């Protein structure tokens, strides 16, 4: 048995989330732990798995805050590095009336993209069932090279590779560059999770079935597509399933996709690529429904990692909350 259910390499950063207004009527922002891969690990750990983080934060108040929060979440930090010169990356979240978010980043550069190949604790790459990464760490070197090389080494060591493109336009020089580099990540992946917009961007298809097939042609064993209020979709070599999500009162969608993916990975770790490819329709339905509940419940609270539900909360939701039909 491997030491870690999931090892994730990438960003741990601060999400400054809207939190009302001051007595003077000025916007107030709450400091929340964020970063897609860190959120995924928080979900994995909260749902009974063991996660390990590889990444870099600054030697500053925010870096120490993130370190403390990941420790509190039970995430193994043997792969965490501290940059003595470059500050921790910050993201300011803007929410519209329906809770959908957009981001402004303070990252030119930020500590997360300073992770180099020499910073990687390679022992972790042989100790995980699943190695997970996203495209935020692919936007610039040295983190880009460190990410791709680590994924290749983890794959050689027998890990299943999980990938979430997690497209953030403001972090890329151009859409063309983003597509090119995000496809490089997809070529390494056994599990791919995309949003419906990312599916179309990467594959050029607006069909869930066709887009998933195109990603599986690159080598993926299973593809998940999250679609916000319209639910989600999964396809492997055996079957495909599309489900509506749960009808909860949404206040903040930050981290919902990460909670969805983390909960899904908590169900998939320990499975071989052959097993992932052959999961039956009922098995896919159960995994997708579990992820939908986790993602939906995360939107009912502010922040990302702090809003991730427990397994008990997910199961209560599945039994008592109706589905949202759009």
pLDDT tens-digit readout, 21-79: 999 999 899 898 999 999 999 999 999 999 999 999 999 999 999 999 999 999 999 99
pLDDT surpasses 90 at 96: no
| Residues of the chain by 3-state class (helix, strand, coil), percent to 5 | 45, 25, 30
Q: What is the pLDDT of residue 98?
A: 63
Tens of pLDDT, residues 164-189 = 999 999 899 999 999 999 999 999 99
pLDDT interval class at 248 (50, 70, 90): very high
Q: What is the pLDDT of residue 193?
A: 98
| Average pLDDT, integer, range 96-113 | 82
Q: What is the pLDDT of residue 63?
A: 98
| Average pLDDT, integer, range 123-129 | 96
Q: Which two tokens stand for residue 318?
A: 């599945």
| % of the chain exceeding 90 in pLDDT | 86
Strands 13-21 and 90-95: parallel
| Average pLDDT, integer, range 208-223 | 97
Spatial contact of 97 and 82, defined as CB atoms under 8 Å apart: no
Per the prediction, the chain carries an average pLDDT of 94
Q: CA quadruple 51, 52, 56, 58: dihedral positive or negative?
A: positive
| Average pLDDT, integer, range 81-99 | 87
Tens of pLDDT, residues 256-315 = 999 999 999 999 999 999 999 999 999 999 999 999 999 999 999 877 788 899 999 999
What are the CA-CA distances from residue 174 to residues 92, 171, 179 (Å)?
21, 9, 9
Q: Which two tokens stand for residue 268?
A: 């998939």
Q: What is the dihedral of CA 153, 38, 216, 2, to 10 degrees?
A: 50
Tens of pLDDT, residues 145-161 = 999 999 999 999 999 99
Q: What is the pLDDT of residue 101?
A: 64
Neighbouring residues of 237: CB distance < 8 A, sequence distance ≥ 6? 216, 221, 277, 278
pLDDT interval class at 326 (50, 70, 90): confident
Q: What is the pLDDT of residue 97?
A: 65
Q: Find out whether the peptide bond into 210 is cis, omega within 30 degrees of 0.
A: no
């Amino acid at each position: 048995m491997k030491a870690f259910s999931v090892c994730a390499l990438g960003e741990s950063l601060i999400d400054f989330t809207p939190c009302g207004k001051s007595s003077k009527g000025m916007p107030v922002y709450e400091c929340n732990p964020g970063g897609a891969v860190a959120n995924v690990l928080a979900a994995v750990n909260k749902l009974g798995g063991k996660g390990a983080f590889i990444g870099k934060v600054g030697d500053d108040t925010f870096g120490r805050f993130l370190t403390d929060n990941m420790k509190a979440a039970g995430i193994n930090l043997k792969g965490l590095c501290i940059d003595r010169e470059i500050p921790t990356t910050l993201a300011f979240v803007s929410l519209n009336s329906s809770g959908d978010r957009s981001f402004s980043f303070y990252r030119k550069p930020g500590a997360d993209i300073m992770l180099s190949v020499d910073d990687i604790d390679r022992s972790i790459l042989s100790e995980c069932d699943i190695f997970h990464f996203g495209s935020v760490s692919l936007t610039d070197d040295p983190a880009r090279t460190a990410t791709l090389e680590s994924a290749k080494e983890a794959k050689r060591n027998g890990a299943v590779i999980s990938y979430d493109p997690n497209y953030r336009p403001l972090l890329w020089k151009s859409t063309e560059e983003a597509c090119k580099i995000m496809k490089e990540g997809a070529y390494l992946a056994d599990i791919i999770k995309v949003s419906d917009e990312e599916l179309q961007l990467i594959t050029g298809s607006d069909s869930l079935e066709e887009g998933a097939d195109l990603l599986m042609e690159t080598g993926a064993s299973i593809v998940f597509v999250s679609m916000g209020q319209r639910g989600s979709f999964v396809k492997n070599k055996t079957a495909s399933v599309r489900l509506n999500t749960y009808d909860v009162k949404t206040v903040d969608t930050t981290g919902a996709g990460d909670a969805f993916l983390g909960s899904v990975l908590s169900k998939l770790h320990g499975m071989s690529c052959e097993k992932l490819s052959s999961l039956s329709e009922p098995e896919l339905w159960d995994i997708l429904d579990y992820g939908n509940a986790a993602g939906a419940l995360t939107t009912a609270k502010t922040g990302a990692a702090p809003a991730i539900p427990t397994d008990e909360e997910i199961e209560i939701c599945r039994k008592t909350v109706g589905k949202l039909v759009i």
